[in-house]
Amino acid sequence: DVKVTQSSRYLVKRTGEKVFLECVQDMDHENMFWYRQDPGLGLRLIYFSYDVKMKEKGDIPEGYSVSREKKERFSLILESASTNQTSMYLCASRQGSSNYGYTFGSGTRLTVV
Protein backbone atom coordinates (compact mmCIF):
# COMPACT_ATOMS: atom_id res chain seq x y z
CA ASP A 1 0.00 0.00 0.00
CA VAL A 2 1.06 3.54 -0.71
CA LYS A 3 2.16 5.38 2.33
CA VAL A 4 2.12 9.12 2.76
CA THR A 5 4.00 10.22 5.84
CA GLN A 6 3.71 13.63 7.41
CA SER A 7 6.59 14.41 9.72
CA SER A 8 4.61 15.72 12.69
CA ARG A 9 1.16 14.93 14.07
CA TYR A 10 1.04 18.01 16.27
CA LEU A 11 2.97 21.28 16.09
CA VAL A 12 2.79 24.45 18.13
CA LYS A 13 4.52 27.49 16.71
CA ARG A 14 4.69 31.16 17.56
CA THR A 15 3.34 33.97 15.40
CA GLY A 16 5.96 35.12 12.91
CA GLU A 17 7.94 31.87 12.91
CA LYS A 18 8.85 30.16 9.66
CA VAL A 19 7.24 26.72 9.66
CA PHE A 20 8.07 23.71 7.53
CA LEU A 21 5.61 20.86 7.09
CA GLU A 22 7.13 17.82 5.46
CA CYS A 23 5.42 15.12 3.45
CA VAL A 24 6.98 11.98 1.97
CA GLN A 25 5.36 9.31 -0.21
CA ASP A 26 6.88 5.96 -1.00
CA MET A 27 5.23 4.86 -4.26
CA ASP A 28 6.76 7.09 -6.90
CA HIS A 29 3.60 9.13 -7.42
CA GLU A 30 3.91 12.10 -9.75
CA ASN A 31 1.25 14.26 -8.13
CA MET A 32 1.30 15.68 -4.63
CA PHE A 33 -1.09 18.06 -2.89
CA TRP A 34 -1.41 20.14 0.26
CA TYR A 35 -4.83 20.85 1.77
CA ARG A 36 -5.94 22.45 4.98
CA GLN A 37 -9.09 21.40 6.78
CA ASP A 38 -11.10 23.64 9.07
CA PRO A 39 -14.48 23.08 10.76
CA GLY A 40 -17.29 24.39 8.60
CA LEU A 41 -14.98 25.04 5.65
CA GLY A 42 -13.93 21.52 4.73
CA LEU A 43 -10.77 20.73 2.81
CA ARG A 44 -9.25 23.53 0.78
CA LEU A 45 -6.40 23.14 -1.69
CA ILE A 46 -3.30 25.22 -0.94
CA TYR A 47 -0.72 24.06 -3.50
CA PHE A 48 -0.08 21.09 -5.72
CA SER A 49 2.73 19.68 -7.81
CA TYR A 50 2.72 17.48 -10.90
CA ASP A 51 6.44 16.79 -10.95
CA VAL A 52 9.76 17.60 -9.38
CA LYS A 53 10.41 21.34 -9.16
CA MET A 54 6.90 22.07 -10.45
CA LYS A 55 4.29 23.78 -8.35
CA GLU A 56 0.86 25.25 -8.92
CA LYS A 57 -1.30 27.45 -6.71
CA GLY A 58 -4.50 26.02 -5.38
CA ASP A 59 -7.49 27.92 -4.03
CA ILE A 60 -5.82 29.49 -0.98
CA PRO A 61 -2.07 29.90 -1.57
CA GLU A 62 -1.66 33.21 0.24
CA GLY A 63 0.84 33.00 3.10
CA TYR A 64 2.22 29.67 1.93
CA SER A 65 4.92 28.39 -0.39
CA VAL A 66 6.03 24.89 -1.35
CA SER A 67 9.12 23.02 -2.39
CA ARG A 68 9.49 19.83 -4.37
CA GLU A 69 13.17 19.07 -4.90
CA LYS A 70 12.70 15.30 -4.96
CA LYS A 71 9.80 13.31 -6.34
CA GLU A 72 8.93 11.69 -3.03
CA ARG A 73 8.97 14.85 -0.91
CA PHE A 74 6.64 17.84 -0.94
CA SER A 75 7.16 20.52 1.68
CA LEU A 76 4.74 23.23 2.73
CA ILE A 77 6.27 26.41 4.10
CA LEU A 78 4.56 29.06 6.17
CA GLU A 79 6.85 32.04 5.68
CA SER A 80 5.60 33.92 8.74
CA ALA A 81 3.04 31.95 10.70
CA SER A 82 -0.12 33.71 11.76
CA THR A 83 -2.92 32.61 14.08
CA ASN A 84 -5.33 32.22 11.16
CA GLN A 85 -3.08 29.46 9.86
CA THR A 86 -3.98 27.29 12.84
CA SER A 87 -5.49 24.27 11.12
CA MET A 88 -5.20 20.59 10.20
CA TYR A 89 -2.84 20.24 7.24
CA LEU A 90 -3.22 17.23 4.99
CA CYS A 91 -0.79 16.05 2.35
CA ALA A 92 -1.89 13.70 -0.43
CA SER A 93 -0.35 11.96 -3.41
CA ARG A 94 -1.78 10.39 -6.54
CA GLN A 95 -0.56 8.34 -9.43
CA GLY A 96 -0.25 10.26 -12.71
CA SER A 97 -3.70 9.76 -14.16
CA SER A 98 -6.75 11.45 -12.68
CA ASN A 99 -8.45 8.05 -12.77
CA TYR A 100 -6.97 7.30 -9.37
CA GLY A 101 -7.90 8.42 -5.91
CA TYR A 102 -5.71 10.36 -3.54
CA THR A 103 -3.75 8.78 -0.73
CA PHE A 104 -3.66 11.10 2.25
CA GLY A 105 -1.27 11.32 5.15
CA SER A 106 -2.53 11.33 8.73
CA GLY A 107 -2.35 15.10 8.94
CA THR A 108 -0.46 17.69 10.97
CA ARG A 109 -2.46 19.69 13.46
CA LEU A 110 -0.72 23.06 13.60
CA THR A 111 -1.46 25.58 16.31
CA VAL A 112 -0.03 29.09 15.96
CA VAL A 113 0.01 31.05 19.20
92 binds other proteins (CB under 8 A): yes
The phi and psi torsions of 111 (rounded to 5 degrees) equal -120, 125
Q: List the one residue from 12, 41, 52, 54 that touches other proteins (CB under 8 A).
A: 41
102 binds other proteins (CB under 8 A): yes
Report the residue number, 1 or 14, with the smaller CB distance to other proteins.
1
Burial 25-55 (b: 16+ CB within 10 A, else e): beeebebbbbbbeeeeeeeebbbbbeeeeeb
Interacting residue ranges for other proteins, rule: CB under 8 A: 4, 31, 33, 35, 40-43, 45, 48, 56, 58-59, 90, 92, 98-107, 109
